[in-house]
């Protein structure tokens, strides 16, 4: 039995001016869920928006307060970032990735969204004829929207059928045309929570060097592959990264998920020193500067977007990074709650006829964490999204993430203990109303 009637959901769609519910964006699904909750008082099980569901890191809060008390709010921060943050960022990359990046090449950005936006601009303008971005999907839809804003083109493929050595042939096929400027992916992956393994990262790195492509590695869920004992500073195992296999990389490190510091919009670009110092005549001509990649990205592109990052938040991030390297903060253990939630939520779905869509990496079953993907019978992602809304569960269709698979993305961040029983009841009703043959 449905929790919300088809008529009420249709009214929500009409009142909110949503063109196609089956292709709704994260923001649109969020609005529908809020509308239905407000109309009825019935709580939704919110699996739509990937907003942190853990308390903010108090060390960051105290460091930010202290910075404001010191008066940093009265001065514009340097575009390249405050020295304390740059130093701790370099140390953090070494501690958890075993990668050497100088403090100079670590650049704060207003969240990874600003970081990817500026990087897309620099990457697609650096070499004439190399103006496309290749997405290893599924991925973060906003990044394609950023390319629409700057008028850049992209190519994409769903990695579902190209794991392991099959990835090499697919990448060769797409890179050999010579027009790809950058490759972007997230690891662990949003939305599928798959993790590229070391051998796959080696393939990406080798081909990035061969075809002079810059790899933009989004590490928003840093060290959150809870299947492995990551997160011990300066000790193996280190988190896997393409930076071990090429000098053509930009790593994006966000404070939003690992420190639950999303509201302050703070992230970092860790750019390889060799790429940071590379000279590109096309950049020099366009921006009338020296054409040095890192300098152009910081001073001629990122500064035009945000004029630097909030000074007090930079000190907060610096302190959280410092304490992580010192072993005071264990951000992996702090975020392990997401894996606990995922395991419970997955069991409820699979007990009621659902299946996990992206269920394996090359050598292991996919882990539990911030996201997972579910399908039901032969329903398309849009159909499943819509049907789940009637039962008070919000999600997003995998089709909006570049995936070719049928299903939806589920986020664990807003799950609460008192909702597991509610979810079980609702999914039992869903299964009863949608018998599988």
Give, for all 437 residues of the chain, the pLDDT tens digit: 899 999 999 999 999 999 888 888 888 998 999 999 999 999 999 998 888 999 999 999 999 999 999 999 999 999 999 999 999 999 999 999 999 999 999 999 999 999 999 999 999 999 999 999 999 999 999 999 999 999 999 999 999 999 999 999 999 999 999 999 999 999 999 999 999 999 999 999 999 999 999 999 999 999 999 999 999 999 999 999 999 999 999 999 999 999 999 999 999 999 999 999 999 999 999 999 999 999 999 999 999 999 999 999 999 999 999 999 999 999 999 999 999 999 999 999 999 999 999 999 999 999 999 999 999 999 999 999 999 999 999 999 999 999 999 999 999 999 999 999 999 999 999 999 999 97
**Measured CA distances, 382 to 20, 79, 373, 405, 409 (Å):** 9, 42, 13, 11, 11
Burial class, 150, CB count within 10 angstroms (exposed 0-12 / middle 13-18 / buried 19+): exposed
Which of 388, 360, 358 is closest to 371 using CA atoms? Answer: 358
Confirm whether 110 is domain-assigned.
yes
Question: Same structural domain for residues 264 and 198?
Answer: yes
The pair of three-digit structure tokens given for residue 59, joined into one six-digit string: 């060390």
Confirm whether 180 is domain-assigned.
yes
Q: How far apart are CA 213 and CA 284, in angstroms?
A: 19
Last residue of a domain, one of 325, 356, 381: 325
Contacts of 270 (CB under 8 A, 6+ apart): 89, 90, 93, 99, 101, 105, 106, 250, 251, 253
Question: Same structural domain for residues 264 and 305?
Answer: yes
Task: Evaluate whether 375 touches 357 at the Cβ level (below 8 Å).
Answer: yes
The pair of three-digit structure tokens given for residue 70, joined into one six-digit string: 């010191």
Q: How far apart are CA 412 and CA 77, in angstroms?
A: 36
E-state strands within 168-229: 180-186, 214-218
Burial class, 247, CB count within 10 angstroms (exposed 0-12 / middle 13-18 / buried 19+): middle
Question: Same structural domain for residues 46 and 81?
Answer: no
Question: Same structural domain for residues 178 and 215?
Answer: yes
Q: How far apart are CA 416 and CA 414, in angstroms?
A: 6
What pTM was estimated for this model as a whole?
Answer: 0.95
Question: Same structural domain for residues 264 and 293?
Answer: yes
The pair of three-digit structure tokens given for residue 353, joined into one six-digit string: 């006829």
Q: How far apart are CA 397 and CA 225, in angstroms?
A: 23
Domain count, the chain: 2
E-state strands within 130-274: 132-137, 153-158, 180-186, 214-218, 249-254, 267-271
Confirm whether 1 is domain-assigned.
no
Confirm whether 371 is domain-assigned.
yes
Task: Evaluate whether 9 touches 397 at the Cβ level (below 8 Å).
Answer: no
Question: Same structural domain for residues 311 and 408?
Answer: no
Number of continuous H segments (helices) and E segments (strands) in the chain? 17, 13
Question: Same structural domain for residues 177 and 226?
Answer: yes
The domain in which residue 246 lies consists of: 58-325
- The CATH number covering residue 386 comes to 3.90.1150.100
Partners of 429 in beta bridges: none
E-state strands within 153-203: 153-158, 180-186
Question: Same structural domain for residues 232 and 285?
Answer: yes
Question: Same structural domain for residues 44 and 81?
Answer: no
Q: How far apart are CA 3 and CA 208, in angstroms?
A: 50
**Other C-beta atoms lying within 10 Å of the C-beta of residue 25:** 16
CA atoms within 13 A on the CB side of 411: 21
Question: Same structural domain for residues 194 and 71?
Answer: yes
- The CATH number covering residue 253 comes to 3.40.640.10
Question: Same structural domain for residues 310 and 392?
Answer: no
What is the CA 407 to chain-centroid distance, rounded?
Answer: 19
Confirm whether 274 is domain-assigned.
yes
Last residue of a domain, one of 267, 294, 325: 325
What pLDDT is stored for residue 437 in this prediction?
Answer: 79
Helices (H), 126-158: 141-150
Confirm whether 121 is domain-assigned.
yes
**Measured CA distances, 95 to 215, 236, 239 (Å):** 21, 9, 10
What is the CA 234 to chain-centroid distance, rounded?
Answer: 24
The pair of three-digit structure tokens given for residue 27, joined into one six-digit string: 């923001």
Phi, psi (5° rounding) for residue 329? -100, 130
Bond prior to 138 in cis (omega within 30° of 0): yes
DSSP string spanning 23-56?
A: G--HHHHHHHHHHHHHHH-PPPEE-S-----SPP
Question: Same structural domain for residues 251 and 345?
Answer: no
Last residue of a domain, one of 298, 325, 352: 325
Q: Compute the Cα dihedral for 248, 281, 108, 116 and give only its sign.
A: negative
Confirm whether 419 is domain-assigned.
yes
The position carrying tokens 């207003």 is 110
């Amino acid at each position: 039995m449905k929790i919300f009637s088809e008529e009420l959901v249709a009214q929500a769609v009409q009142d909110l001016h949503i063109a196609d519910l089956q292709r709704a964006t994260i923001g649109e699904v969020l609005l529908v869920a809020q509308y239905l909750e407000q109309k009825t008082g019935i709580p939704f099980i919110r699996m739509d928006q990937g907003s942190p569901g853990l308390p903010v890191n108090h060390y960051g809060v105290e460091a930010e307060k202290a910075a404001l008390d010191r008066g940093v709010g009265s001065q514009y921060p340097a575009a390249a970032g405050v020295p304390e943050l740059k130093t701790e960022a370099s140390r953090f990359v070494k501690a958890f990735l075993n990668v050497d990046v100088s403090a100079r090449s670590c650049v704060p950005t207003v969240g990874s969204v600003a970081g990817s936006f500026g990087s897309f601009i620099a990457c697609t303008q650096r070499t004439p004829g190399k103006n496309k971005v290749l997405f290893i999907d599924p991925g973060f839809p906003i990044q394609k929207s950023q390319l629409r804003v700057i008028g850049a083109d992209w190519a994409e493929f769903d990695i579902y059928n190209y794991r392991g050595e099959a990835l090499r042939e697919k990448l060769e096929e797409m890179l050999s045309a010579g027009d790809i400027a950058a490759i972007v992916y997230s690891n662990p992956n949003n939305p599928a929570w798959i993790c590229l393994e070391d051998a796959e990262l080696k393939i990406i790195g080798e081909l990035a060097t061969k075809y002079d492509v810059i790899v933009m590695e989004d590490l928003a869920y840093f060290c959150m592959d809870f299947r492995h004992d990551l997160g011990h500073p300066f000790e193996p195992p280190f988190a896997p990264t393409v930076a071990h296999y090429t000098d053509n990389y930009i790593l994006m490190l966000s404070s939003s998920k690992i420190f639950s510091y999303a509201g302050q919009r703070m992230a970092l670009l860790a750019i390889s020193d060799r790429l940071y110092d590379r000279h590109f005549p096309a950049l020099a001509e366009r921006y009338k500067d020296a054409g040095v990649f890192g300098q152009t990205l910081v001073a001629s592109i990122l500064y035009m977007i945000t004029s630097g990052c909030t000074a007090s938040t930079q000190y907060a991030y610096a302190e959280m990074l410092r304490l992580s390297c010192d072993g005071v903060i264990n951000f992996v253990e702090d975020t392990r709650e997401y894996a606990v939630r995922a395991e419970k939520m997955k069991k409820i779905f699979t007990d009621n006829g659902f299946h996990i869509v992206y269920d394996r990496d090359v050598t292991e079953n996919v882990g539990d964490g911030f996201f997972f993907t579910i399908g039901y019978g032969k329903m398309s992602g849009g159909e499943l999204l819509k049907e789940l809304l009637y039962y008070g569960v919000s999600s997003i269709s995998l089709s909006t993430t570049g995936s070719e698979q049928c299903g939806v993305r589920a986020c664990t961040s807003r799950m609460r203990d008192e909702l597991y029983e509610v979810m079980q009841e609702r999914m039992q009703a869903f299964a009863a109303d949608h018998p599988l043959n």
